[in-house]
C-alpha cells in the first residue's frame, strides 16, 4: 500500500487562517488615529459573517510572540489550508524567520496592514513578508482584512 501524501499536498477548500502579530490585541485603543477604533474581536466577527457568505471558515489567532506565528504558519502548511491572511505587525519589518516560514509552506499568504506602511516612518517601508506573500493589502483599515478574505476566496480551484 502506498504511503499517504503529506498534509501539505491536501488543500482544505474552505479554511483560512487569519494570523495577527504583536500589539494587535490592542486594536481599538492603540493609536486609533492610525489603526482605527475596531478591535480585533470586532474584525473577527465581521470576517466570520463574510466567510460564511463566501462558503469559508476562518480561524483567527493573535500572538505577541514570533515563534507562535511561525508555528501557526507551519500548521497551515501541514493542514493544507486554503490561505493565510497575515498581519505580522512590527515583525513585518524585522523578521527573516517569518519570511523563511512562509517560503517553507505551500500555502498562499496574503499580507495585510491596517495602515499604509509606505506612508509612515521610513523603517516601516521594508517588508520581509512581501517578497514571499501572494499579495499585499494595506491602508484600508479593518476593510483590509475583508479585501484579503475576498482575495483568499478567489484562490479556490
Answer yes or no: are the C-beta atoms of 102 and 74 closer than 8 Å. Answer: no
Residues forming beta bridges with residue 110, ordered by sequence position: 85, 135
Answer yes or no: are the C-beta atoms of 22 and 64 closer than 8 Å. Answer: yes
- Give the residue ranges of DSSP H helices in the chain: 32-35, 40-54, 66-79, 96-103, 143-153
Domain limits, the chain: 7-153
> Is a pLDDT exceeding 70 seen at residue 50?
yes
Residue 9 pLDDT: 38
Percent of the chain topping pLDDT 90: 64
Integer Cα distance of 82 and 90 in angstroms: 25
Catalytic residue at 125?
no
Residue 6 pLDDT: 39
Tally of CA atoms within 13 A in the half-sphere of 135 that contains its CB = 14
Asked which of 2-6, 79-83, 128-132 is least confident by mean pLDDT, the reply is 2-6
Catalytic residue among 7, 9, 33, 35: 35
Please report, for residues 4, 58, 66, 156, the alpha-carbon distance to residue 18 in angstroms, rounded to integers and kept in the order given.
28, 7, 15, 17
Catalytic residue at 35?
yes
Q: What is the mean pLDDT of the chain?
A: 86
* Second-level CATH architecture of 7-153: 3-Layer(aba) Sandwich (3.40)
> Is a pLDDT exceeding 50 seen at residue 2?
no
Tens digits of residue pLDDT in 105-118: 999 999 999 877 77
Catalytic residue among 9, 65, 68, 113: 113
Instruction: Tell me the pTM.
Output: 0.85
Q: Which three cell numbers mark 148?
A: 484579503
Please report, for residues 59, 114, 132, the alpha-carbon distance to residue 104 in angstroms, rounded to integers and kept in the order given.
21, 26, 10
3-state secondary structure of 57: strand
Which of 51, 127, 125 lies closest to 86, judged by CA?
127
Which of 19, 15, 154, 151 lies closest to 81, judged by CA?
15
Amino acid at each position: 500500500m502506498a504511503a499517504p501524501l503529506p498534509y501539505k499536498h491536501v488543500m482544505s477548500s474552505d479554511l483560512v487562517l487569519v494570523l495577527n502579530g504583536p500589539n494587535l490585541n490592542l486594536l481599538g485603543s492603540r493609536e486609533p488615529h492610525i489603526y482605527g477604533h475596531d478591535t480585533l474581536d470586532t474584525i473577527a466577527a465581521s470576517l466570520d459573517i463574510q466567510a460564511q457568505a463566501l462558503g469559508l471558515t476562518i480561524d483567527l489567532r493573535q500572538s505577541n510572540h514570533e515563534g507562535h506565528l511561525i508555528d501557526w504558519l507551519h500548521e497551515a502548511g501541514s493542514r493544507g489550508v486554503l490561505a493565510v491572511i497575515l498581519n505580522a505587525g512590527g515583525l513585518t519589518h524585522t523578521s527573516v524567520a517569518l519570511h523563511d516560514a512562509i517560503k517553507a509552506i505551500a500555502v498562499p499568504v496574503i499580507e495585510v496592514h491596517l495602515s499604509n506602511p509606505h506612508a509612515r516612518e521610513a523603517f516601516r517601508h521594508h517588508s520581509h513578508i512581501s517578497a514571499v506573500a501572494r499579495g499585499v493589502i494595506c491602508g484600508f483599515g479593518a476593510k483590509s482584512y475583508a479585501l484579503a478574505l475576498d482575495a483568499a476566496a478567489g484562490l479556490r480551484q
